[in-house]
Amino acid sequence: MTGDGEGDDEIIYVDLSKLPPSVLTLIFTINSFQGDTFDKIENAYVRLLDIDKNTELARYNLTESGSHTGLIMCSLSRRSGEWQMKAIGLKSTSRTFREMMSAIASCL
């Protein structure tokens, strides 16, 4: 598996303004569902962008960070109506976010 090509292979957009007020925190994770460790995937990285400001808020180079299959990337938390980002970078051997739930809960 490789990250051939240029740019992002997969993109997830989140419009924070459309989330209900009851949503206070989002935790962003990345997992290798097939169980391939990130050090075996060429050019693997994950990043969080603010599209409106065209700014990269967080970036992790997964290929260079060891033989793990999951990463808790960051959290976005709503405080007094404003969203605040916290970089986490917690590695995991989990293949799904469900397997990561205890680690995710510790980040809340």
Domain boundaries, the chain: 24-106
C-alpha radius of gyration, the chain, whole number: 14
Classify domain 24-106 by CATH architecture: Sandwich (2.60)
Q: Which helix (H) or strand (E) holds 60?
A: strand 55-61
Give per-residue burial for 87-98: e unless 16+ CB within 10 Å, then b.
ebebbbebbebe
Question: pLDDT (tens digit, 0 to 9) for every residue of the chain, 108 residues total?
Answer: 445 556 677 778 889 999 999 999 999 998 888 888 888 888 888 888 888 888 888 888 888 877 888 889 999 999 998 999 999 989 888 888 889 899 999 988
pLDDT at 4: 56
- Specify the residue for token string 């510790």: 106
5 φψ region: left (φ > 0), alpha (ψ -120 to 50), beta (else): left
- Residue 38: both structure tokens together: 């990130």
